[in-house]
Amino acid sequence: MGRVHAAALSGRCSVARLACVYDPLPAAAEAAGAEFDVPWTTSYDELLDRVGAVAIASPTGTHAPLTAQAAAAGRHVFCEKPISLDRATTVATVEAAEEAGIVFQVGFHRRSDPDWAAAAARIRAGELGEVTLFRTSLRDMTPPDPAFLSGSGGFFLDVVVHDLDVARWMVGEVVEVHAHGAAADPAFAALGDIDTAVTVLRFANGALGVIDNSRSARYGYECSTEVMGTLATARIDAPHVRGVEWRTPGLASRDLARDFEERYPWAYAAELDAFARAVRDGTPPPVTGRDALAAFDLALAADESWRTGRPVSMEVPA
């Protein structure tokens, strides 16, 4: 993700610009600096001295301490999700950012994707009417390296959390979560994890939601969302890399995206530009630390529901 964000800052962003790269490993830092033609450093303190804002895309366990250090130095922070795999640490980090008065944005990129943002804006304008059903899918083409899984936080915190954030954003607060999971690949079961899940939601406004996720769809990377309302239905489904279709007798084919990097290049740029505008102009960031905490809590509830086989009720913020 560090390389993905550095590439966006170097070529696609219209507001934000890459000023310096940091990695504790000298070879990695130097290589990134050369690739993106910017200064590099192996000292986080030096990085904070050079810039007014940082984008953190390091291993999950370092997100919270790096964010807290930047906040203490008065630097604005864009941080990849999750803030932490521990709730108390997540809360402490969000509060530290608030107390420091910095802009703190978390990387739930779908809120900045042009397709999702356009649909959400029309829903908020009332064009959909009252939402009755929310459905979304997130399916990876191939599973990650098993070495990654042990520190991922589990399926719900690593994968489903994206859809839970989209659910809150597009529909509203969730009052009940009921999750079902399975491990088609024995490697996941051996780690006490799953690779496939269906999560059913009840929203405070009475709408229902269904989320399906897979770590190994095989055919390609797919991410789609549908929101049904009393006046209209919004559907977002663009898994194709290009607009061209190849037709032969009895068959029409199009290239599918292989991963999130192919599917969301402009979303990653847009979320960083939104962060830069929040720093420069004082506009609200699209995803706050509180938003990330709410999605984290929903993911924890989904994990609990899967393990116990029972639905979990959620407290709705006052």
Is the model's pLDDT at 318 over the cut of 70?
no
Task: Give yes or no: residues 150 and 64 share one domain.
Answer: no
Query: Which ranges constitute the DSSP H helices of the chain?
Result: 2-7, 26-36, 44-50, 60-72, 87-100, 114-124, 146-149, 155, 161-170, 186-190, 260-263, 265-281, 289-308
Max alpha carbon distance in the chain (Å)? 64
Is the model's pLDDT at 48 over the cut of 90?
yes
Single residue among 58, 80, 108 that ends a domain in this structure: 108
pLDDT given at position 144:
82
Q: What percent of the chain has a predicted confidence (pLDDT) above 70?
A: 98
The CATH number of whichever domain residue 34 belongs to comes to 3.40.50.720
Asked if residue 271 is part of any domain, the answer here is no
Per-residue pLDDT tens digits for 241-261: 776 777 788 888 877 787 887
Asked if residue 281 is part of any domain, the answer here is no
Task: Give yes or no: residues 191 and 242 share one domain.
Answer: yes
pLDDT given at position 117:
94
Name the percent of the chain in helix, strand, coil, to the closest 5.
45, 25, 35
Task: Give yes or no: residues 62 and 86 share one domain.
Answer: yes
Task: Give yes or no: residues 115 and 22 share one domain.
Answer: no
Asked if residue 228 is part of any domain, the answer here is yes
Asked if residue 318 is part of any domain, the answer here is no
User: What is the rounded average pLDDT for all residues in the chain?
Assistant: 93
Is the previous residue joined to 82 through a cis bond, with omega within 30 degrees of 0?
A: yes
Task: Give yes or no: residues 65 and 193 share one domain.
Answer: no
Query: Under a CB-based contact definition with an 8 Å cutoff, are residues 60 and 144 in contact?
Result: no
Count of the separate structural domains present in the chain: 2
Provide the residue range defining the domain that includes 96.
Answer: 1-108
Integer Cα distance of 88 and 134 in angstroms:
30
Single residue among 71, 92, 108 that ends a domain in this structure: 108
Integer Cα distance of 15 and 8 in angstroms:
11
Buried b (16+ CB within 10 A) or exposed e, 277-311: bbbeeeeebbbbbebbbbbbbbbbbbbebbeeeeb
Asked if residue 179 is part of any domain, the answer here is yes
Query: Under a CB-based contact definition with an 8 Å cutoff, are residues 60 and 84 in contact?
Result: yes
Task: Give yes or no: residues 114 and 94 share one domain.
Answer: no
